[in-house]
Amino acid sequence: MKCMYCKKEIVEKLSFNNVFSKKDSLVLCEECKYNIDINITELAEYTLYYFGDYEFLKEIIYNIKYSGAIHKAERFRELFSLFFKKYKFNLVTIVPINNTRKYSRGFDHIAQLCNVCNVKYTDTLQCDYREKQSKLHKKREKHKFRIIDNLNFEKYPKRILIIDDVITSGNTLISCAEVLKERFPDAEICFLTLAKS
């Protein structure tokens, strides 16, 4: 059996627990088991789910985001699959990338991550150019997101999930949530990130 994240071979002794354990669990080596899970915390009035600490995941996130090594996103496929078995949402969306950054990178890394991991999402938000959160340090300004023009929903979403790669201050996610909350005041909004710094 292989670790679903790092793909190292796992040698496990046969026991009653692992023979009859649920299939809906994470199959991870000891190192990954220590560092990866579906973690839950609060961010302002919202629920934040994240898979691991940024220090453990930063190299793979960097490779996906800046080197275009999108195939490495496959490591998260099983985590996303298990997450969506446990938690249900009517609307899944992603933090939008502005056109300047998309042009310079050549792709939207969150959209590609979702595609590789079989996550169905709806482009809901758009934004103008904004400075990277990591470069703003203590100057945490609100971002100017807006709902895409002419976007129609067949049903009013009761539970909305916003996906991003890393949470630092939470300002980006909260800014996205506030825009969606204006349009859907009764919806419960949650976040999912690969890592929390």
Express each pLDDT in 25-40 by its tens digit.
Answer: 788 999 999 999 999 9
pLDDT-derived band of residue 155, with 50, 70 and 90 as boundaries? confident
The whole-angstrom separation of Cα 119 and Cα 96 is 16
Residues in the chain: 197
pLDDT tens profile 103-139: 566 678 999 999 999 999 999 998 875 555 555 444 5
Determine the average pLDDT of the residues in 8-17: 72
User: Which single residue is written with the structure tokens 């050549």?
Assistant: 106
The whole-angstrom separation of Cα 196 and Cα 130 is 21
If DSSP states are collapsed to H, E and C, what string results for 2-69? Answer: ECCCCCCECCCCCCHHHHCCCCCCCCCCHHHHHHEEEEEEEECCEEEEEEEEHHHHHHHHHHHHHCCC
Full-model pTM: 0.87
pLDDT at residue number 142: 63
pLDDT at residue number 49: 99
pLDDT at residue number 45: 96
Whether residue 57 is predicted with pLDDT greater than 60 in this model: the reply is yes
pLDDT at residue number 82: 95
Query: What are the structural domains, with CATH classification, of the chain?
Result: 37-196 (3.40.50)
pLDDT-derived band of residue 81, with 50, 70 and 90 as boundaries? very high
Average pLDDT, whole number, for the chain? 87
Whether residue 63 is predicted with pLDDT greater than 90 in this model: the reply is yes
pLDDT at residue number 144: 83
Q: Which has the higher per-residue pLDDT, 192 or 132?
A: 192
